[in-house]
Chains A and B, each alone.
Chain A
Amino acid sequence: MRGGAGQAPDADIAALATRLIMQSHGAVVAEADVNELERAVLALVQATHALRRYPLRNSDEPMTVNGRGPGERA
Chain B
Amino acid sequence: MTTEPAFCSVRELGKLLRSGEVTAVGLARYFLGRLEEVGRPLNAVAAVTPQRAMDEAALADSELARGLDRGPLHGIPYGLKDIIAAPGAPTTWGAAPFRDQVLDCESTLGERLRNAGAVLLGKLATVELAGGMGYDHPDASLTGPALNPWDTSTWAGGSSSGPAAATAAGAVPFSIGSDTGGSIMMPSAWTGITGLRPTYGRVSRAGAMTLSWSLDRLGPMCRNADDCGLVLEAIAGPDPRDPSSLTEPYRYSGRAARRDHFRIGVVAGSFDGVQDEIRANFESAVASFAEMGTVDEVALPDFPYKEVAEVIMAAEISAAFDDFLDSGRASELAAGKASFYRLAATALPARDYIRAQRIRRHIVAALDELARQFDALVAPMLGIVATPAAESFTGPLGVAYPQQVNLASVTTGMPSVSVPSGLGRGGLPTAVQLLGARLSENTLLDAACALEARTGWAAHPPAFSP
Chain A interfacial positions (CB closer than 8 Å to B): 1-2, 17-18, 20-21, 24-25, 27-29, 33, 36-37, 39-41, 43-44, 47-48, 50-54, 56, 60-69, 73-74
Contacts and interface: CB of A to CB of B under 8 A. Distances in A.
A62 B302 CA distance: 19
Interface stretch (B142-150, B153-161, B285-293, B325-333): B325-333
B311 A69 contact: no
27 contacts: A1-B347, A21-B343, A25-B325, A25-B326, A33-B340, A37-B340, A37-B343, A37-B344, A43-B344, A44-B314, A44-B347, A47-B307, A47-B311, A48-B311, A48-B348, A48-B352, A48-B355, A51-B304, A51-B356, A54-B304, A56-B358, A61-B361, A65-B214, A65-B316, A67-B213, A68-B244, A74-B244
Interface in B309-352: 310-311, 314, 316, 325-328, 330-331, 337, 340-341, 343-349, 352
Interface of B: 200-201, 213-215, 243-247, 303-304, 306-308, 310-311, 314, 316, 325-328, 330-331, 337, 340-341, 343-349, 352, 354-362, 364, 413
Given A62-B360, A66-B214, A44 B310 contact: yes
B243 A27 contact: no
By CB atoms of chain A within 10 A, which of B201, B213, B303, B340 has the most? B340
Contacts of A20: 347
Contacts of A63: 214, 357-358, 360-361, 364
Contacts of B348: 1, 44, 48
A54 B301 CA distance: 13
Given A33-B337, A51-B308, A56-B359, A21 B344 contact: yes
A66 B213 contact: yes
B337 A36 contact: yes
B327 A28 contact: yes
Contacts of B354: 62
Contacts of A65: 213-214, 316
A25 B304 CA distance: 30
B386 to A, nearest CB: 26
A74 B358 contact: no
Nearest to A48: B352
B252 to A, nearest CB: 23
B343 A62 contact: no
Q: Is the interface of B mostly helix, strand, loop or mixed?
A: helix
A40 B213 CA distance: 22
Nearest to B302: A54
A4 B83 CA distance: 39
Nearest to A50: B307
A60 B247 contact: no
Contacts of A33: 337, 340
A20 B310 CA distance: 21
Nearest to A53: B304
Give 9 nearest A-B pairs by CB, closest first. A62-B357, A28-B328, A17-B347, A66-B244, A40-B344, A40-B340, A50-B307, A47-B307, A41-B344
By CB atoms of chain B within 10 A, which of A24, A39, A54, A63 has the most? A63
B343 A40 contact: yes
A41 B214 CA distance: 22
Contacts of A40: 340-341, 343-344
Contact of B214 (A47, A56, A67): A67
Given A40-B340, A44-B311, A62 B361 contact: yes
A47 to B, nearest CB: 4
A14 to B, nearest CB: 9
Contact of A60 (B246, B303, B314, B361): B361
Contacts of A68: 244
